[in-house]
């Protein structure tokens, strides 16, 4: 089955700096790659996703890039704010089943 690895496990940045979280996946059949944000004690919430037919997607301060050849995708957050502090999860899902696999998560801390 699919295996997703996520790095780094913790990330601390200064407010206003950029943050980058990287994930790799193993199954070339994967075609859907969402990113979820989970604040302390809350449920995961989708912040952005990308499908394999595009290489990049942007939504205000958040962007995701996908390299299908290398089987990796990344989350980029620009102009970070303290409210960006949370755990971020990447995930990958093959087109031929619905068994979504998540990365282990990255705890992002934005220091004011």
Partner 1 sequence: DADVTQTPRNRITKTGKRIMLECSQTKGHDRMYWYRQDPGLGLRLIYYSFDVKDINKGEISDGYSVSRQAQAKFSLSLESAIPNQTALYFCATSDAGDGDTQYFGPGTRLTVL
Cβ proximity of 103 and 89 under 8 Å: yes
44 sits near partner 1 (criterion: CB under 8 A): yes
Task: List binders of partner 1 among 63-102 (CB under 8 A).
Answer: 89, 91, 98-102
Alpha-carbon separation of residue 15 from 1, 29, 71, 79, 85 (angstroms): 38, 38, 30, 7, 10
Among 25, 34, 73, 85, indicate the residue that binds partner 1 (CB under 8 A): 34
Rounded-to-integer distance, Cα 49 and Cα 90, Å: 9
Number of residues engaging partner 1 in binding (CB under 8 A): 21
Task: Indicate the length of the chain as a whole number.
Answer: 112
Using the minimum distance from each CB to partner 1, give the nearer residue, 103 or 110: 103
Q: Which residues bind partner 1 (CB under 8 A)?
A: 1, 6, 9, 32, 34, 42-46, 49, 89, 91, 98-105
């Amino acid at each position: 089955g699919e295996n997703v690895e996520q790095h780094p496990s913790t990330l601390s940045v200064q407010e206003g700096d950029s943050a980058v979280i990287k994930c790799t996946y193993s199954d070339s059949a994967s075609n859907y790659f969402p990113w979820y944000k989970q604040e302390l004690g809350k449920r995961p919430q989708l912040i952005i996703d990308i499908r394999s037919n595009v290489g990049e997607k942007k939504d205000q301060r958040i962007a995701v890039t996908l390299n299908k050849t290398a089987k990796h995708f990344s989350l980029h957050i620009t102009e970070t704010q303290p409210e960006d502090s949370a755990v971020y999860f990447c995930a990958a899902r093959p087109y031929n089943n619905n068994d979504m696999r998540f990365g282990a998560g990255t705890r992002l801390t934005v220091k004011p």
